[in-house]
């Protein structure tokens, strides 16, 4: 744990961190107990006033320094991310590049919005809006993009002058530990950044702590709901970035090779363990047979393997428990009558037998009432539904409790715009899938979450707006005459 500027042992016991490729123990980490969490929050609270008073340019310079250090250590950090999550080294490297750009972006906009003057219509009054940090922020992250998700939180939180207590997923804590080391090396003052490790119990203690002012959480919907309930007791500010069940809509006028290619990357990158994965492929009727045949054939050819092996196109699932969950969904799909056209099994290769591997899986003939269509499987599982009109495509796409992301493929730009505007989701790609930039907001409609990360809104989440009214010519009001 990192507490008030020092690395110390946690009191919650030592826990193995496993490599999902072969179940080997990468290392052990210390988990925190309630007392550790309390100490971390106390350190963050104690450091708050001084850090909030640091000039914004100095805070921005610190973020820029962190970006430089991440660039310096990119290769070792990417390797650690691959060992911990199983994702390919190529993907881990891209994650580190993205994280660097997030730190640089928030360094660049930290001082861009100093507030504003308000015209009250009264010449003897100066009325201003100033922005102040919210306070102590608890930053809680999931296992699929550990470094990326914490960067989206910690960079704007520090830019805005908050102090933080970070709690990464117990499944993949390693690159978050590394990032905290780099924050310390960059010169973050003691107590401004604190790190506690542990399971959801540690997270829950953090969420309930009365000295925490803001929670920024990324993870599953069920956990998000628990956090929203728990945070209500102390009226904390809460941002939740939750799951998705994202539609990828393909009209028949699209370029065939391109949509096949993107249908696969939309869902099978990182073995489907992506909140914005295009897990529901909606295909126009006339294209259906050809598209399904080609997507299924190519899914069968995807090379799964060790993320450190450059030949691997995707890695294992993150844990045994997660693979169990995905296998249960495949069984549910079969029993509900979906037609399995690819995958549906673990790989045969004996070299992968110790890892948590599962083959890319495609179900055709899916209906909106099936569990594999409604629920986030978070695995390499693509469902295919068919539509015959634009309105049917939109209705199917929006028939979900989620609203994180989605895509539409068509050469008809007017239709693309109509569908993009009609989708109830926080991110819509037209003729593309997956790209994001730190300058553009990210977040969910409906049960995919509240609030936004990235972009200027991602900074605003960590600020309070304060109105300061100054009467420059005070004189008795004489409201009460006596």
Residue of 226, 339, 346, 371 that binds ligand NAD (CB under 6 A):
226
Least separation in angstroms between residue 438's CB and ligand NAD is: 13
Q: Which single residue brings its beta carbon nearest to ligand NAD?
A: 203
Strand order in the sheet with 247-250: 339-342, 361-364, 381-387, 280-284, 247-250, 405-409, 427-430
| Active-site entry in 81, 91, 170, 241 | 241
For 99, how many CA atoms within 13 A lie in the half-sphere containing its CB?
33
Least separation in angstroms between residue 27's CB and ligand NAD is: 18
Q: Does 241 bind ligand NAD (CB under 6 A)?
A: yes
Residues in the chain: 482
Least separation in angstroms between residue 400's CB and ligand NAD is: 13
Distance CA 135, CA 113 (A): 19
Q: Which residues of 133-163 are buried (b: 16+ CB within 10 A; e: fewer)?
A: bbbbbbbbbbbbbbbbbbbbbbbbbbbbbbb
Region binding ligand NAD by CB under 6 A among candidate stretches 12-20, 165-173, 341-349, 455-463: 165-173
Q: Does 162 bind ligand NAD (CB under 6 A)?
A: no
Q: Does 243 bind ligand NAD (CB under 6 A)?
A: yes
Residue of 42, 82, 144, 314 that binds ligand NAD (CB under 6 A):
144
Q: Are 20 and 85 in contact (CB under 8 A)?
A: yes
313 in active site: no
The residue among 189, 96, 215 whose CA lies nearest residue 146 is 96
| Active-site entry in 275, 284, 366, 390 | 275
Pairing assessment for the beta strands 361-364 and 381-387 based on DSSP bridges: parallel
Nearer to ligand NAD (CB atom), residue 29 or residue 291: 29
Q: Does 175 bind ligand NAD (CB under 6 A)?
A: no
232 φ, ψ to 5°?
A: -65, -30
Nearer to ligand NAD (CB atom), residue 145 or residue 357: 145
Q: Does 461 bind ligand NAD (CB under 6 A)?
A: no
The DSSP line for 374-427 is HS---SSEEEEEEESSHHHHHHHHH-SS--SEEEEE-S-HHHHHHHHHHS-SSE
241 in active site: yes
Least separation in angstroms between residue 84's CB and ligand NAD is: 13
Is 150 in a helix, a strand, or coil?
Answer: helix
Least separation in angstroms between residue 465's CB and ligand NAD is: 25
Q: Does 12 bind ligand NAD (CB under 6 A)?
A: no
Q: Does 317 bind ligand NAD (CB under 6 A)?
A: no
The DSSP line for 321-357 is HHHHHHHHHHHHHHHTT-EEEE--S----GGGTTS--
Q: Does 223 bind ligand NAD (CB under 6 A)?
A: yes
Residues 390-409 that bind ligand NAD (CB under 6 A): 404
Region binding ligand NAD by CB under 6 A among candidate stretches 215-223, 299-307, 332-340, 461-469: 215-223
Is 308 in a helix, a strand, or coil?
Answer: coil
The residue among 355, 274, 378 whose CA lies nearest residue 19 is 355
Contacting residues toward ligand NAD, per CB under 6 A: 140-145, 149, 167, 169-170, 199-200, 203-204, 207, 218-220, 223, 226-227, 241-244, 275, 376, 378, 404, 444, 449
As annotated, the active-site residues are: 241, 275
């Amino acid at each position: 744990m990192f507490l008030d500027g020092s690395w110390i042992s946690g009191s919650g016991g030592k826990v193995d961190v496993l490599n999902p490729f072969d179940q080997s123990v990468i290392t052990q980490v210390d988990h925190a107990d309630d007392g550790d969490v309390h100490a971390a929050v106390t350190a963050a609270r104690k450091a708050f006033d001084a850090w909030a008073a640091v000039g914004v340019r100095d805070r921005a310079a610190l973020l820029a320094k962190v970006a430089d250090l991440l660039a310096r250590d990119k290769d070792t950090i990417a390797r650690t991310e691959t060992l911990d999550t199983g994702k390919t080294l190529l993907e881990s490297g891209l994650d580190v590049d993205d994280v660097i750009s997030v730190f640089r972006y928030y360094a660049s906009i930290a001082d861009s919005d100093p507030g504003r003057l308000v015209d009250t219509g009264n010449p003897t009054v100066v009325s201003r809006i100033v922005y102040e940090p919210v306070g102590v922020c608890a930053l809680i992250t999931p296992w699929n993009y550990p470094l990326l998700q914490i960067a989206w939180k910690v960079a704007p939180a520090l830019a805005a002058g908050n102090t933080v207590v970070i709690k990464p997923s117990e499944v993949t804590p390693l690159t978050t530990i590394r990032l905290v080391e780099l924050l310390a090396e960059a010169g973050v003052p003691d107590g401004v950044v604190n790190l506690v490790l542990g399971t959801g119990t540690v997270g829950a203690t953090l969420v309930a702590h009365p000295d925490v002012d803001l929670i920024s959480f990324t993870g599953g919907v069920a956990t998000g709901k628990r956090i929203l309930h728990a945070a209500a007791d102390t009226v904390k500010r809460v941002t939740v970035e939750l799951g998705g069940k994202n539609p990828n809509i393909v009209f028949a006028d699209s370029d065939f090779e391109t949509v096949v290619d993107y249908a696969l990357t939309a869902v099978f990158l990182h073995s489907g363990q992506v909140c914005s994965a295009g897990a529901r492929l909606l295909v126009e009727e006339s294209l259906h047979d050809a598209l399904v045949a080609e997507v299924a054939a190519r899914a069968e050819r995807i090379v799964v393997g060790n993320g450190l092996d450059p030949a691997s196109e995707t890695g294992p699932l993150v844990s045994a428990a997660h693979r169990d969950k995905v296998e249960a969904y495949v069984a549910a799909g079969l029993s509900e009558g979906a037609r399995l056209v690819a995958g549906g099994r673990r790989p045969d290769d004996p070299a992968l037998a110790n890892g948590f591997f599962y083959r890319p899986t495609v179900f055709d003939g899916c209906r909106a009432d099936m569990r594999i269509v409604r629920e986030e499987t978070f695995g390499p599982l693509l469902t295919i539904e068919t539509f015959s009109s634009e309105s049917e495509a939109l209705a199917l796409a929006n028939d979900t409790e989620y609203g994180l992301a989605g895509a539409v493929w068509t050469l008809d730009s007017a239709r693309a715009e109509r569908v993009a505007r009609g989708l109830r989701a926080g991110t819509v790609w037209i003729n593309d899938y997956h790209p994001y930039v730190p300058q553009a907001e990210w977040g969910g409609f409906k049960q995919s979450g509240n609030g936004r990360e990235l972009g200027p809104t991602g900074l605003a989440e960590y600020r309070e707006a304060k109105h300061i009214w100054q009467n420059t010519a005070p004189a008795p009001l004489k409201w009460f005459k006596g």
